Amino acid sequence: MVVVGGGLIGCLVARELAHDGHRVTLVERAKVGREASHDAAGMLAPLAEAVEPGPFLDLCIESRNLHATLADELFAEVGTDVWYRDDGTYLVAFDDTEAAALRARAALHASLGLHSEMIPVEIARREEPALSPLVTAALSVPGDHQVDNRKLVEAAALSCYARGVKIVEHTPVRSLLRDANDRIVGVDTTAGPIDAECVVVAAGSWSSLIGGFSVPVEPVKGQMLMLELVSPPCRRVLRSERCYVVARIDGRVLVGGTMERVGFDKSVVASAVGNLLEAGREVVPSLGGAFGGEAWAGLRPATPDDLPAVGQLGENLIAATGHFRNGILLAPVTAKIVAGLVRGDAPHAAAELLDPRRFSPSGSAA
C-alpha cells in the first residue's frame, strides 16, 4: 500500500495500516512532518469549535477521546512524550457583548449535552494567575485538550519506522497510475513509479495537485507567533475572540492564528505578527516579557465545505485529506476510519459526511 504525504494524517494512517499487517510505503515530497502538522497549535478542541449537533461534532469528540491512548502507545513504542494534556480550556471575554457570546456558547453546549460552565472571573484568575485583570467573564471548557503537535508527528513517524513502514522522503508524487481498466495500480513519483494495490492520498493542502486525484482542496494560511518565557504562564488553553494562547510545558507560548485564503503563500507579515502579539498580551499581559520568539505560517487543507474528505474514491483509492482547522484533533480517528475501509468494516457513522465523492458531479468519479 502507498500513503502519499507524511503529515500527521499520513503518518498515523500508515502506522495503523502497518499494524493491520500491510506492507506500507509512505511517500513524502520533502521531509516528514514539516508542513501543517508542524505549524499547528495542537488544540484538541471539539467544544470550542462546536456549532451544532451532528456527526462532525461526534467525530471530533471520538477523536479527542483517542488521543490519550495514542499518547500512551507512542510513549511505549518510541519513548516520546507528546505532551498530551487534559487541563481544559478557558474562553474569556473583555466586555458585556463578549460575555453574552460566552453564555450563549455555554447554553449551546448544554443543549448538546456537553459540559462547560461560566465561572466567576476571580476563580478563573486564581486558577490561571497570568490572565489579564481586564478579563470580565470566563467559560471553562474542561473537554478541550492539547498536545504538542510537533512531538506528535515526530513520534508518529518513529512509530511508522518501528512498525516496518518504508518512508521515502524527498520524492514528490506526480500522479496516480491506472491500468487499462482504470484501476489504480500505484503512483508516479519524481524517482519513478511505485506499484501499489491501494493508494491513500494524505497530501494535505497539496492533495489536488496530484494528477488524477479529483478532491478539491485549497490552502488556508495561518500565521502564528511563538514566544519564549522561562516557564509556562498558563496550564489551560486560553481563547479570546481575537486569538488563542497555548503554553507548552517548556515555556514556549503559541499565539494564533490568522485565517487567509491567499493560495500557497507562507510568508510572514509584520502587521499580522504585531496583531497576534497585541491579542496575546490582551489575554496574558506577561507575554510582553518574552525573551525570544519566532513567527511562521502554515497551510490548513480546506475542502469547499470545510469538512474533511475521508473515504473511498474507487476500489483501491482512498482520500484522507481536507482536515482544515482540526487535523491534529481528527488524525487518530481518520487513521481508524481508513484502516476500517481497507479491512472492509461496516461504514463509520460519519462516512456519509466525510464522503470524498460529494464534490464530483456524478458523486462517484475518482
71 binds ligand FAD (CB under 6 A): no
301 binds ligand FAD (CB under 6 A): yes
Which span sits near ligand FAD by CB under 6 A: 119-127, 263-271, 324-332, 343-351? 324-332
Please state, in angstroms and rounded to a whole number, the distance separating the CA atoms of residues 87 and 144. Answer: 8
Question: Which is nearer to ligand FAD, 93 or 153 (by Cβ)?
Answer: 153
Closest CA to 143 of 38, 21, 237, 250: 237
Please state, in angstroms and rounded to a whole number, the distance separating the CA atoms of residues 235 and 230. Answer: 14
The residue behind cell 502538522 is 37
Which span sits near ligand FAD by CB under 6 A: 23-31, 94-102, 122-130, 348-356? 23-31
43 binds ligand FAD (CB under 6 A): yes
200 binds ligand FAD (CB under 6 A): no
CB of residue 97 to ligand FAD, shortest distance in Å = 25
Question: Which is nearer to ligand FAD, 25 or 99 (by Cβ)?
Answer: 25
DSSP secondary structure, 277-322, as one string: HHHHHHH-GGGGG--EEEEEEEEEEE-TTSS-EEEEEETTEEEEE-
225 CB neighbour count, 10 Å cutoff: 27
Please state, in angstroms and rounded to a whole number, the distance separating the CA atoms of residues 233 and 208. Answer: 41
Question: Which is nearer to ligand FAD, 8 or 99 (by Cβ)?
Answer: 8
CB of residue 12 to ligand FAD, shortest distance in Å = 9
CB of residue 203 to ligand FAD, shortest distance in Å = 4
Please state, in angstroms and rounded to a whole number, the distance separating the CA atoms of residues 345 and 321. Answer: 20
φ/ψ of 186, rounded to 5, equals: 155, -160
26 binds ligand FAD (CB under 6 A): no
Considering only 14, 91, 200, 224, the residue that binds ligand FAD (CB under 6 A) is 224
What does the block give as the cell for 237?
488553553
Considering only 1, 16, 35, 82, the residue that binds ligand FAD (CB under 6 A) is 35
6 binds ligand FAD (CB under 6 A): yes
298 binds ligand FAD (CB under 6 A): yes
138 binds ligand FAD (CB under 6 A): no
Please state, in angstroms and rounded to a whole number, the distance separating the CA atoms of residues 220 and 146. Answer: 22
Give how far the C-alpha of residue 216 lies from the chain's centroid of Cα atoms, to the nearest Å. 18
Note the residues at the interface with ligand FAD (CB under 6 A).
4-10, 27-30, 34-37, 39-43, 172-173, 202-206, 210, 222, 224, 256-257, 298-301, 321, 323-329
